Amino acid sequence: MKLARAGAVLVAATAAVALTACGSGFNSGGGAQDSKKPLTVLIGSSGPAETAAVKKEVADWSKTSGVKATVQAASNLNQQLAQGFSSGKPADVFYLSTDALAGYASNGSLYAYGDKLDNRSDFYPSLVKSFTYDGKLQCAPKDFSTLQLIINTDAWSKAGLTDADVPTTWDQLSAVAKKLTTGSQTGLVISGEYARIGAFMTEAGGNLMNDDSTKATADSDANLKALQYVQDNLKAGDFKFAADVGAGWGGEAFGKQLSAMTIEGNWISGSQQNDYPDVKYKVVPLPKGPAGAGTLQFTNCWGIAADSKNKDGAVDLVKALTSKSDQLAFAKAFGVMPSIQSAAAEWKKEFPDYAPFLDAASYAQGVSTAKGAADVVADFNSQVAKLATADPKAILTSTQKNLEALTK
């Protein structure tokens, strides 16, 4: 079964969300409550399969609970979410990305219901951390993805490489990328942005901010080592950015066989299945860097509006949607990875070829959740897109200054 891109898994979203309006201002919940009041659910869907799956599980819950609930697939989730809050009529339950969390949590728009979750200890700790603000788990992690190395198996064999050559270190990755670079095909092509290069940062022992996004750590020796490594390979011509080969992202370059390898999340399988079904590939763990194994993770949660008139019903719905049965149903329907540890074994049994994505849950690092970090990442991306000829140290120094301004 194919794995499709998780709906609204915003792969390092780099546009700031318009967090202009406040909610009720009472994060513990205020206003008259009605346990039978209908609920509205706003999602950012990857396509018909995801929309249908969410509607089915919500309908099943409605039938059991007696509470009517309707699902709307947003055409622009961030915009519609912001409009709902600004009008004072937000959806009761909605997909919420890590980059939007701090803004909505800080202005009172969110109902922080984490302490009401019976399965809180079952969520991966790193996901809980991603959705914790001001010491409170704001919302239940919905699903997640990690980055791993994707290899074109035909190109691999043609270059005389075997399973024994699968790279486990940076030096080995450079070596196989060189062997795989022939004519119009580059060894490794990735998107020129933090959402991919950040994986090398984690492997070197760095990241843009610390784990709880309270301290800027961009200007570190580890991050410099990572950028210099990528730069060296760009200059050698064995690594390239997607834009430099005429592709919109690494998956497109890989599908068009402009690259023999790329670094992507489990959503790439949907693209491959739909657009490039003849390209054979396999997923392997990213090579370890100077500090060991590392990668980035991307996730969303089920947010609940502080202004909801049926918070109890909304929490009960989220409990159902994050249950093992519902999460595995979503995985089978549109390929997401469950956010709870108890579903891991069954997921890997269903999708054995994609196990490296889930195996990385124990060491994957989240992207910054600090309010305003998305703008800083956007600036970082504009600079790193020219990494082949830019000064890595200058990029990191600039980013450090911008991130420090967020934490003062």
Q: Cα–Cα distance between 57 and 69 in angstroms, integer?
A: 11
Q: What is the dihedral of CA 381, 382, 387, 392, to 10 degrees?
A: -70
Look over the chain and give the mean of its residue pLDDT values, rounded to a whole number. Answer: 92
pLDDT of residue 30: 54
CATH of 39-146+298-361, one of 3.40.190.10, 3.40.50.2000, 2.40.10.10, 3.10.620.30: 3.40.190.10
Task: Give kind and range of the element (H or E) at residue 262.
Answer: strand 259-264
pLDDT of residue 31: 62
pLDDT in tens, the chain (408 residues): 444 443 333 333 333 333 333 333 334 445 678 888 999 999 998 889 999 999 999 999 999 999 999 999 999 999 999 999 999 999 999 999 999 999 999 999 999 999 999 999 999 999 999 999 999 999 999 999 999 999 999 999 999 999 999 999 999 999 999 999 999 999 999 999 999 999 999 999 999 999 889 999 999 999 999 999 999 999 999 999 999 999 999 999 999 999 999 999 998 988 898 899 999 999 999 999 999 999 999 999 999 999 999 999 999 999 999 999 999 999 999 889 999 999 999 999 999 999 999 999 999 999 999 999 999 999 999 999 999 999 999 999 999 999 999 988
Task: Give kind and range of the element (H or E) at residue 157.
Answer: helix 153-158
268: which residues sit within 8 A by CB, 6+ positions away?
5, 150, 250, 251, 254, 262
pLDDT of residue 303: 98
Closest to 117 measured CA to CA, from 345, 321, 365: 321
Q: Whose structure tokens read 């011509």?
A: 237
pLDDT of residue 46: 84
**What's the DSSP call for residue 399?**
H
pLDDT of residue 65: 97
pLDDT of residue 130: 94
CATH architecture of 148-294+372-404: 3-Layer(aba) Sandwich (3.40)
Per-residue pLDDT tens over the stretch 220-275: 999 999 999 999 999 999 999 999 999 999 999 999 999 999 999 998 988 898 89
158 phi and psi angles, rounded to 5 deg: -60, -30
Pinpoint the residues of the chain covered by CATH 3.40.190.10: 39-146+298-361, 148-294+372-404
E strands, 347-397, are 365-366
Q: Cα–Cα distance between 269 and 283 in angstroms, integer?
A: 10
Q: Cα–Cα distance between 408 and 259 in angstroms, integer?
A: 43
According to DSSP, the β-strands at 39-43 and 69-73 are parallel
- Whether the model clears a pTM of 0.85, i.e. scores above it, the answer is yes
DSSP 3-state assignment of 94? Answer: strand
Task: Give kind and range of the element (H or E) at residue 83.
Answer: helix 77-87
According to DSSP, the β-strands at 148-152 and 259-264 are antiparallel
Task: Give kind and range of the element (H or E) at residue 199.
Answer: helix 194-204
pLDDT of residue 188: 98
DSSP 3-state assignment of 169? Answer: strand
Helix ranges restricted to H, 304-372: 311-321, 324-334, 344-350, 355-359
Q: Whose structure tokens read 């992207």?
A: 367
Residue 302 pairs with which residues in a beta bridge? 95, 140
Q: Cα–Cα distance between 1 and 222 in angstroms, integer?
A: 38
